[in-house]
Structure formats: C-alpha cells, structure tokens
A and B are shown apart, each in its own frame.
Chain A
Amino acid sequence: MVSRFDQKKTKHQLFHVSISLATILICMTYMQYRRNWSHLGSFWDSLIVPIVFTGELLKVILARFFGRIEDGVLTAKQRQKKAAYFTPRELLGGLTLQFLCTLLYGFICIILGAPVLANYEQTFVLSLLMTLLTVSPTVFLLGGGGALQVCFCENPDFVTKCEDTALHLFKYNALGGILGAWAGSVVAPLDWGRDWQVYPIPNVIGALLGSALGNIYACTHVLYTCGRVYMSKKRT
C-alpha cells in the first residue's frame, strides 16, 4: 500500500502528462489545418518538429520548477551535478549525444527499409523527431553525461526525486514513440493507394500517436494510484 500520498509528485506528473498530450493535440490540429500531409517529411515546411521541441522544453522547465522547491535537501553529488549543468563541456556533450542519436536513428531507419540513396530529408526529419521524443528530454534535464549515466545505470544516485519523476514519465513517452513509429510501417505494403501511405508519414504519425498512448497509459497509472490512495483514506 502507498504509505503516504505525495501530492506534489502527483501534481507534477499530471501537469507533465497534460503538456505531452497537449503537444500531441496541437500537432494533430496543425495536421488537420494543413490537410495535405505530404509535407510532414520535409524539414523546413513542417511545424511538427518545432512543436514537439517546445513541448519537451516545457516539460523540462516544469521539472525544474518543481525541482526548485527541494533544492535545500540535495546531496553533495546532486549539487555538484546541478552546478555543472551549464558548463560548456556538458552543453557540448549533450549536443553531441543528440546528434549521434539522430544519426543512429537514421541508420536504424535505413536498416528497417528506408531508401538508402533517396529521401534523406524525410529520414532526417523522422530521426530528429525520434530523438526529440526519446533522448532530448533526458539530455535537457540532466545534461549529456547525466543522460548517459541514467541510461546505463540501474539506480543512479545523482538524480533528485523530482527528476526521477520526470524521467519515469519520459520513459513512457519514449517507448510509446519508438513502438508507434515502428508499428507505423504496417500500412506501407497495403494496396489502398492513399497518399499518406508514403514513407515517412505513417511513421511520424505513428510516433506521435504512440507517445500519446504512452502518456495516456502513464496518466491512467497516476490516476489509478491517486484513486487507490483516495479509497484507502476514505475507508480509514
């Protein structure tokens, strides 16, 4: 049983999830507004990447905002980490990490069947979107080194409680995005002859929908925990 109901954490979680869902909704509205989806794969013409980028930034700012309150109770390691956040080394590391991840996603796209000698822009946009959905939030929150440590460590000790909450939610977002983009390819062989069956449109939409589903799952999880606490409180 949940011993103590963490009101602040739940608030953070709910705000976080609302930002994610709002981002996806804005994306959907934007796509509805543009009608023709063929531009989704182009870098300069599509607003999906900037929208998602803003959404992820907002989430990080949210985490920072909630994290400000617990500044007083940090361990030495956490403090050290925090102090190093804006050093050029960390910034550069973070950028490099994201760049490498974009390359890696591009490589994966090509392995999974994207055209090798064509559609570079589309592949780039897709991998950029995937990076934004998966790696970028963590990097923005913790810096390059921190993100790597989080990825390859069972229980990192430099992560504050608030950051941990955000990371937990980022995980759903990322997993949903990856699975969605992966599953989006399912429409490629179908003979419906629709113009939105062209690479990368199903994958981009799949990534957005997947992350939305991931967030909805996270949201239900949070609400369920809330509800259980509420019920037990009522009983006692």
Chain B
Amino acid sequence: MADCNPAEPKNTICLRLTVAVGSCDVEEDVSEMEEHKSRLAYTFYMLTLFLFGCVLFIVGFFPASYTTTDAERESTIPNGWPIKMYGKKITPPPASYDAFVLFLIDALRDDFPTETNMPVSYEKACIKLNLHVDIPTVTMPRLKSMTTGTLSNFIDIALNVGSIEQLEDSLLHRLRDRDAVVSFAGDHTWLKLFPSEFTRAAANNDSFYVNDFYNGDKLVTSALEEELEKADWKLLILHYLGLDHIGHVEGNESPKIPHKLREMDQAVQKIIEHKNMQNYLMLLTGDHGMADGGGHGGNTPAETSVPLYLFSKNCSKPTTVTKRYNQIDLAPTLAVLLSVEIPTMSIGCLIPEMLQSLTLEQQLYAYFYNAHHLLNRARVKFGHEVVHRSDYYHWYQNATLLHKDLLDPLREGDGSSASQVHYQNAKLNYMRVAREISGLLSESLVKFDYGFIAMGLVLTTAAALHLALSVLFTDVANEQLQLQSLKKAQLLLSLVIGATLNIFAHALDVIMTSTLLLKLILMLLLVAAIYLSFDVVLTFIKIALPPIYTRRLKISIPLPVPLLVCFAIRVLTLGSSSFIEFEYLTWYYLGNTLLLLTTFRTLRRRITKANEELDGRHLYKIASVCLWQQRKIFVVLLLLILMRHTYGLQAIKSTLMVFALMLFWARLRKFHTNLQAIFCGIAFLLVYTFRGLNQQVQFFTLSEQLAARLVLPVLVLFWCCFALVLVLGYRAALPQQQSSTDLLNLEARPTSALLRLLQTNLSCSLILTALMFKVQNIVLLPTLLITLDETYKLCEAYGTSARKFSVRLVHVYKIIMTIFVGRMFFFYQGNSNSLSTIDLTPGYIGQTSYDPNVVSIFVSLNTFSADIHSFLYLIVHTLRANLKSVGIMQLQPPYAKAADTLVAPLYAALLLLPVAFYLCLMLGFRYHLFIYSVFSPKVVYDCYTVFVFFFVFLITSLYFKLFKNDA
C-alpha cells in the first residue's frame, strides 16, 4: 500500500503512514464469522424462477402473432371484390401492366440512391417516393408487411433468425390462386414465408452469412438474366442482400457501398433496357434502412425511411413526391394494380401516385374497394354498432353516393366541371376513410395477454425481492426469517391456491394454453410465484413488526449512502425514454462519480489521520505523499476518459492494437504459468495476423488470394494455442499423481484448485474475446482489468481508512463498483439499448456458413463481454485476495469464503432488482408512444443480460460445487 522507498527523504512520514493505516481497529461481529453456508444453489433457483418470469412476461407482452383469430375468420362479412353498388354493376380494373418487378435491396436507406451512386435509376425513375417503415426494422417482419399489409409484432425480431410461421394470406397467395407465374430470386427468408407460392425460386443458401458480399448477389443477377429471357412471369421478386452485409461488417461509410450500389444500378439498367420488357412496372425499394453504424433493427430515421422508385416504359415526366407513405400501403396498391383481391389482413391505404395508369373510373373503384375492405376490417374489429356510429362511416356513405352518381358520367367520358368536383370529393372521402380506419386498426393491433403479464410480473418481482431480502438479512435469514428453507405447509397451501387459480384462469379464458404439458408448467410457475410472494410478504411483516420490539431485525449488510443513491438514480432513470436511449451517459456519470467520491473520501481520511498524528506539521508533505500513493486511480480515471473516445482513435488503430495486446498479455501474465504465457502471446500474435490479413491493421502487403488462403490456418493455429492454454491451466489445477515436482509446485503456490480453474476460465474467455473484438475495442480489455484491479484496491483502502473496519463494507463497495464498471465498459464498446448496435461480425469469424448456435454464442460473448468478465474477475479476485496488503492478516479465510456466500448472491440481487422494476414500469407504459421503439428493445436487452448472467453463474457455481473441497 504505502510506497516506501528507503532512499526517499520522506521516509519517516512514509513509515508513520503505514503504521497509521495498519493500526485501524478490526472489529468483527461474531455472526460474520459464522454463516458460511453456500448460497449458490438458492441463488440459482431464484435466477431460474426469475428467468421463467421474464419469459412469461414477454409471452404476455408481445403476443406471438397477429393472425386472424377464429372469431374473425368465421365472421359473415364477405371478402373479395364488390361487384355492385346501389344496384349498379361495377367491375374491378384489369391488371394495368403485363409484368411487375419488385426490386428489393436489403438495407437501402433513403440517401443511398443518388446521382453519383445509382445514375441510371436516378435518371430513369418515373416517380420517386419515400416510404416509412415500421419497427422492428429487420427483414422478415418487413417482408410480411409488404406482402400482407399488416404491421408486425415487436417480437418478430427474435423470430427473424429463428423459426417462422407461414402466412395464411398475402399477395402471393392471391396470385397463386389465379395461376399467375411468380418468380423469385434472392434472400431465402422469402421461401420460409412462402414455401409453395412461387412458381420458380432461386434463393440464396445462406442469407445470414454476413461475410458474403458478392456471391449471393451474383447468383440473383444471373437468375434475373434467365427470367428476363423467359419473360413469362407476372411478378418477379428480386431481393439483394449484399448491401446489408456490407453494412453489418464494415458500416455505412464503407467504400464498398458506392461500389455495391453501382452494381445494383447495373442490374436495374439490365431490366429497364431489356427488349422483352415492354409494358412493365418496376418498384425499386429497400425492406428497411441502415443505421449510422451500419446495423439495423432500431428506430432512427435512417433505419425507418426507405426510397421507393417506380419505373415504367411510358412515364410522362419524372416526379419527386415529398409526401411519405407507409410500407404497408404497398400491399393494397399492388393488389389493385395486379388485379387481385386485397389480402384479408391488410390495413394499408392506397398510394395515389401509383394509380395514375388507371382510368378515372378504375381509380375510383380502387379507392372504393380499399375503403370498403378497411370498413369490413373495422366491422370485424370493433363491431357493427361502433362502426355505424362513427364519422368515417358517414364519409364512406357520402363517397359511395357520389360514386354512384358519377358512374355514368365517367363511363361516358363526361369531363364537365361538376363531375370533376364530385369525383375529387368522392376520392378525398374514400382516402380519408382509409386513412382514419388504417390508423385506428394499427393502434388496436396491440393486444396484451394480461394473465401471462401478471404471472410474469409476480414471479420476477417476488424472486428478485426474495433474493434481495435474503442477502440483506444474511445473518438472520435462516433462523428468524426462514427464507431459504422449504416450508411444507406453505408449499401445500400455495399448491392448492395455484391449482385453483390455474383452473379458474383457464375456465375464464384469462390464460390460454394449448397443451397439457404447458398447463402443468404454468401451474408449477404459479405455485412458485405464490410461494415466493408469501415469503416476501411475511418477511416484510416480520421486519416491520418484530415480535419483541427490542429485537428488531437488523440489516446485516452495510449500505453506504452514496452507493445507494447512485443505484437508486440508475433505477429511477429507467422511467424516461431519453435516459434509456442515452443510458450510457447515466452509467459514465454515476460510475465516475462513485470512483471520484471514493477516491476523495479515502484521500481525505488518510491525510486527516496522518495529519492528526503528526499534529499539523508537514501537511504539504503528507498530502503529496498520499496523493502519490493514489496516483494509479487517477491514471485509471484518465484512461476512462480516453475510453470514451476509442472511436476517435481510428487513425492509430494498428499501434493501439499492438499496444493493447501487449498490455493485455502483461495483465494476463499473473494468471499464467510460463508455458501458458508463451502460448497466450502466440495467440495474440495470431489475432494481430488475422486482423492484418483482413486489412484492418497495418501488415505485410500480401496478395489478396494469399491472404484469403492464410486466414484459415491462422485461425486454426489460434484455436490450437487457445486449447493449449486451457489444457495447461486445467492440468496444473487438477490433482495428479504425487510426484516430487508437483509437491514442490504445491508448496510454491498454495492456491486452491478452484481458484486456478476459474482463473483459467477467465483468461481463456478473455483471449477468445480478444479475437472477437473490433480492432479499436481491444484496448478495452486490458483497461477493464486495470480498472477493476485499481477499483478493488481503492475499495480496500477506503474500507481500512474507515473508523470501524468491516469486511462486508468492502465487499459491497466492490460488488457495486464491479457492476458500474462492467456496465460502463459495456457501453464503451459501442453497445446501446437499440438493437441496431449489435455487432454481428464476430459470429462469423472462421465460419463458412450460418450456424445459429455458434453465431449466438460468439455474438453474446462479444456483446456482453464486459459484464461476463467483470463478474468472473470479481469472483476470482475475491478468491485470491488477501488483505495482507492493507495490514489485516487474520481475516483472510472469511474474506475468500464470501465469494459464494455473499458476493455472487448480492451481485445477482443487484442485477435482478432493476430488471424486475423495469418490467413493472413496462406494464405502466404499455400505451406509451415509444413503447416499441425505445422501451421494448431495452426489455429484450435486460432479459438477455439476466440470461447471460444466469449462464455464467451456472458454470461458476458448478465449479464451486465440484472443486470447492479440493483446496
């Protein structure tokens, strides 16, 4: 602690300081020495229940699909073309073009097609429109919207990668019913949605393999050439993925993007200049935009705005329309143009600019048809009564009356001004009806399943509170509160209540499940929720009304005010959408505040102590010595400032990476034996080589072919080194035959097997992360370790400078600091609460195809690396720490033992409480304007964070169970 250099003149002061620090009182409650029962199993159960609660909540909050319910399907309202109006016959318009091309470029954002990037498209487009895309801005829900005209569910984003339900009705279904030839080439998500609707399909094998920039698109273009020769199709859908992949891997500023856009432009040119293309309509659009980082999935204007360019042979003059339409408007408009029925679930309006090729009568019919369709949807949704009393119904009636009167003049081609006025009037009325109903229907699509939500909330809140209470009242939790033992009577009671509730809920249709197994699982969860709630309520009562007033239950964990205030602020800011969008600001601010506050308080206490002892003389010297002792924490604070600006360090990223890897190696050195250190060094060299071969850092200039061929061996070698580090670590830790050398080793390092195994795990996972991380982010890894190390030292110094030393105070400080530091680094890395910042590239390192398991593991490890590693580091630190350095020798065993009795449960409780609170907030915010754009992604992040923690916790506690007694 005290940096005493005998050569220095400040020697005397220095020595005295050490004495002053070392002589602090060591007062320990007896109870702290007892109670070393491991709480890992209990914490594990609580975490499991919490996760189940999260799942229930999510199921209730984001109902899995919006398909027609039985009631809606059986309704008597006719569906299809209306053919009569007040007795007069009306006919649907025939298809206005012979061929339709839907040219879809994934992630084509609004500012991409410019005069320089896509000259042909820009020049030749008849009409340029702008479409608004709904969230979630990922491919699968967008395709659904475009073909069915419905909004999609937020949780579809999860299904985007996973399984997909097939649609029941869409434009393509209608086309198939009419035996029209529909051809397709591109993203194979289409085939999952429409397995049998295409006449011909040439899909990419692997749409999620983001390292493929060109091959997939080449295949699409060659398929396009074949189709152009055949020219027998009614609708051709092309879906190019390359642009999206470039965005994911290299960002929206990548030099490859203009190049890619030019390639797309050439494909467009091929279509519009082909001899077989005579009477055609081509739509060039994107399924969603691209965020400024290159990803998508969020709610920024760059992601939710896409261009729509229309091409046809006989266009009068190019126009640009500034008005924005919705992406769901495409479905009914295309249906009218293709002359098929509007898909049943469609709630879009028509886009007037696209109907200009129709005659006036046909246009009016189209408006009438869509308004009629929407009115029927409204009838199904809100009931006949409500619809008949509404404004839009009157508008509709006005419009149809005018329409009827207009039918004859229009057919005769009467262009009198009166009929013109009537025509405009009818058209505006129809459009107004459509817009009104469309708005109403999209609002009413939200349907919450309150049964599941309530169960989820009760379960999460009860589990979080239970865990928190049991940790806070550690010393009395077992005897007086009986939190951790299973009470049979209470269980039986909750079983009865749970069963009754379950039966009633099912009978009243509050909860609907499909299978018996689900019912049973649900009942178990219900019972658990009731049991836990009983416990929590009883505990609260016991705390509030102690049986004997003098024996009031005391909180056994010290809760320092600053920590509590920071934690409370962090929890309360969850209620504001701005604070969620800029959550990183909260963490940086509070984390740094805590560090600064602790530093200054420690400094002040130490200086005061020394000053008192030296009776006010040499104050300047004391102050400077104490400041010098704390110099490292100031270095850490400077580093933390620097970390905020890692993105500004692009220019020196090669140097930075070399420096970071060396620093990292030196940091990991203390976990490694010599042999391990060598392999670790080689692994880092290979990481640099890998980045060099990908041309992300300075490296020998190699030909591209050679570089591509070298990537695989480099990665294989890396994995070999990684495996060697792992195996060597385990071999050193696990007990073997007692040979003389081993005995010597054991004497040399009396650490337990458990500690060594956990260290090996930590360092291996860190080495792996070094491979995953972006180049400029690698510097975060050593900085994280340094920051945690110095923070822990600071906490120890703070604890010992207090008047009454308490080990638990040090623990609490360390745990909360770990959470704050971990979160700060989570955001330093470039993460946010928007789904568009998830970096998908690490999932594909060394992969040649899309494997969901590998990708999800790698991406999770990359995204949550800060949280995972700070928790692991905390455990390892707790196990290896000795307070010798701060002058307290005798406390070493209980200190290390706290790892599984206090540290892990308290960490878990502090992680769960805000999440449970946030879920409750979500229920209150369910009609908030930003619920799906800001609050919902945060729920996904939060639940996933708990899941990742659960996983890490599970593995760690398994090691504790298996190896704890080997020490």
Contacts and interface: CB of A to CB of B under 8 A. Distances in A.
B619 A113 contact: no
B885 interface: no
Nearest to A185: B589
Nearest to B626: A152
A148 B608 CA distance: 10
Contacts of B647: none
Given A148-B623, A152-B619, A116 B645 contact: yes
A148 B640 contact: no
B592 A112 contact: yes
B360 interface: no
Contacts of A188: 585
A189 B578 contact: yes
A182 B644 CA distance: 20
B424 interface: no
Contacts of B578: 189-191
A116 B588 CA distance: 15
Interface string B852-880: 00000000000000000000000000000
A112 B619 CA distance: 29
A108 B608 contact: no
Contact of B641 (A110, A152, A182, A189): A110
A152 B593 contact: no
Contact of B623 (A108, A152, A153, A189): A152
B134 to A, nearest CB: 21
Interface string B599-629: 0000010011001100010011011000000
A154 interface: yes
B589 A113 contact: yes
Interface string B639-651: 0110011000000
A152 B644 CA distance: 34
B612 A153 contact: yes
A188 B619 CA distance: 39
Given A112-B589, A112-B593, A153 B637 contact: no
A112 B576 CA distance: 21
Contact of A182 (B576, B581, B593, B604): B593
Given A110-B641, A111-B641, A149 B589 contact: no
B596 A152 contact: no
Interface in B199-243: none
A156 B592 CA distance: 32
B579 interface: yes
Nearest to B612: A154
Nearest to B637: A111
B619 A145 contact: yes
B582 interface: yes
A151 interface: yes
Interface in B561-590: 576-579, 581-582, 585-586, 588-589
A195 B843 CA distance: 43
A131 B623 CA distance: 19
B873 to A, nearest CB: 23
Contacts of A182: 593
Contact of A151 (B581, B604, B640, B644): B604
Nearest to B611: A152
A189 B619 contact: no
Interface in A141-192: 145, 148-149, 151-154, 156, 182, 185, 188-191
A185 B577 CA distance: 16
Contacts of B620: 148
B651 to A, nearest CB: 15
Contact of A116 (B604, B612, B623, B641): B641
A108 B589 CA distance: 11
A153 B589 contact: no
A116 B616 CA distance: 38
A148 B645 contact: no
A189 B581 contact: yes
Interface in A100-124: 108, 110-113, 116
Contacts of A108: 596
Nearest to A183: B569
Given A148-B619, A152-B604, A191-B578, A111 B611 contact: no
B928 to A, nearest CB: 14
Given A113-B589, A190-B576, A152 B607 contact: yes
Contact of B619 (A111, A149, A154): A149
A189 B582 contact: yes
Contacts of A112: 588-589, 592-593, 596
B585 A113 contact: yes
Interface in A186-236: 188-191
B177 to A, nearest CB: 48
Contacts of A110: 641
A202 to B, nearest CB: 13
B588 A113 contact: yes
B360 to A, nearest CB: 46
A190 B588 CA distance: 16
B592 to A, nearest CB: 5
B647 to A, nearest CB: 13
A153 B579 contact: no
A182 B592 CA distance: 12
B608 A189 contact: no
Nearest to A158: B616
Given A111-B641, A188-B585, A153 B608 contact: yes
B650 to A, nearest CB: 16
Nearest to B619: A148
Contacts of B645: 116
Contacts of A152: 604, 607-608, 611, 619, 622-623
A111 B608 contact: no
Contacts of B577: 191
B406 to A, nearest CB: 48
B658 to A, nearest CB: 24
A153 B593 contact: no
B909 to A, nearest CB: 27
A93 B637 CA distance: 27
A111 B824 CA distance: 13
Nearest to B577: A191
B608 A154 contact: yes
Contacts of B581: 189, 191
A67 to B, nearest CB: 21
A156 B620 CA distance: 16
Contacts of B604: 151-152
B814 to A, nearest CB: 21
B585 A189 contact: yes
A151 B585 CA distance: 32
A148 B611 CA distance: 11
Q: Which 8 A-B pairs have the closest CB atoms?
A: A189-B582, A191-B578, A152-B607, A152-B611, A190-B578, A152-B608, A189-B585, A189-B578
Given A110-B641, A191-B577, 6 more contacts: A113-B585, A113-B589, A148-B620, A152-B611, A152-B623, A153-B608
Interface of A: 108, 110-113, 116, 145, 148-149, 151-154, 156, 182, 185, 188-191
